[in-house]
Amino acid sequence: MLSRTSRDPAALPRLLLTLLALALLWPGIQLSELDLGVLLHSDSQSEMGRFVAAFWPPAHKPEFLQLLLDATLQTLAIATAGMALALLLAIPASLLASRALSLSAASRGGRPKPLAQLLRWPVRGLLIFLRSVPEIVWALLFVRAVGLGPTAGVLAIAITYSGMLGKVYAEIFESVDQRPAHALLQAGSGRLAAFVYGILPNAAAELTSYTVYRWECAIRASVVMGFVGAGGLGQQIDLSMRMFAGGEVASMLLTFLLLVLLADQLSRLLRGRLA
């Protein structure tokens, strides 16, 4: 029998938090109208069986493989170009939104200047706005503005991911050891030099890992946006599903899986080099 001293003192708080989580989760399940029992219905199982059976064998005709290669390269181009445009806005915005290079933060006990705060909050508000609208919504707007094609996908990724990257970059800059940067600022160094030599070396591995992860997310997003006419693999998957060509869908899904695996291996390689 356990004594009072051997009992876990955090057991009661954990139990209360678990009960609170269940109490908050139940209304969400009710509002989402989740019904897992529909998967057990005979009609649903037979329909899913026919749908999955149509995936085999995957399409492998030469003309389709050439189409698949073109769509895959277009998907990679959409994700990469969108990320490149997003970085052009995210990097300067993250430096403006972060207090890592603030002169008041470098001095012990220094309070943030009102003017610096006045400039910092609008940048943070802009980043919040950019990432609050899903990329699929931006894609729909740009498809109407510039027409069907990959341009809409590139612009949608650039806008949404600039907000995501800017926010996380600013948090990474503030979370790393800032003493080297503060020492450089106090010694009279410029802010750019303090960032390059004081903050960037400590944050490089985390920045690279998150950037590659977001590039992987951009690949997935470009596939999703293809369903609204933004080009790439998504648009081809949509066309194949409408024609009930399950073998073509299977080949494209396997290609998409390989893209995600390659992005994961690239992230590990870069992190190993920068560690």
What is the rounded distance in angstroms from the CA atom of residue 118 to the CA atom of residue 101?
A: 16
106 alpha-carbon distance from chain centroid: 32
By C-alpha distance, which of 116, 113, 119, 130 is closest to 168? Answer: 130
Whether the predicted pLDDT of 17 surpasses 90: no
Considering only CA atoms, which of 131, 153, 158 is closest in space to residue 223?
153
How high is the pLDDT of residue 83? Answer: 92
Q: Which of 101, 173, 99, 170 lies closest to 131 in space, CA to CA?
A: 170
Q: Summarize the chain as % helix, strand, coil (round to 5).
A: 80, 0, 20
Query: Which 8-state DSSP code applies to residue 111?
Result: P
**22 is a domain residue:** no
Q: What is the percentage of the chain residues whose pLDDT exceeds 70?
A: 87
Q: What's the pLDDT score for residue 178?
A: 74
pLDDT at residue number 205: 82
Note down the domain range covering 244: 62-274
29 lies in some domain: no
Total Cβ atoms within 10 A of residue 148: 13
What is the C-alpha R_g of the chain? 25
Residue 55 has pLDDT above 60, yes or no: yes
CATH number at residue 148: 1.10.3720.10
In a domain, 28, yes or no: no
Give tens-digit pLDDT for 182-203.
787 777 777 778 777 878 888 8
> Within a domain: residue 6?
no
Q: What is the mean pLDDT of residues 24-35?
A: 75
Q: For the chain, what's the residue count?
A: 275
Please provide residue 34's backbone torsions phi and psi, each rounded to the nearest 5 degrees.
-70, 125
| Tens-place pLDDT, residues 123-146 | 888 888 888 888 888 888 888 888
- Other CB atoms within 10 A of residue 48 CB: 11
Band (50; pLDDT cuts 50, 70, 90)? confident
Domain membership of residue 13 (yes or no) is no
CA separation for the pair 212, 218 (Å, rounded): 10
Q: How many domains does the chain have?
A: 1
Q: pLDDT value at position 87?
A: 93
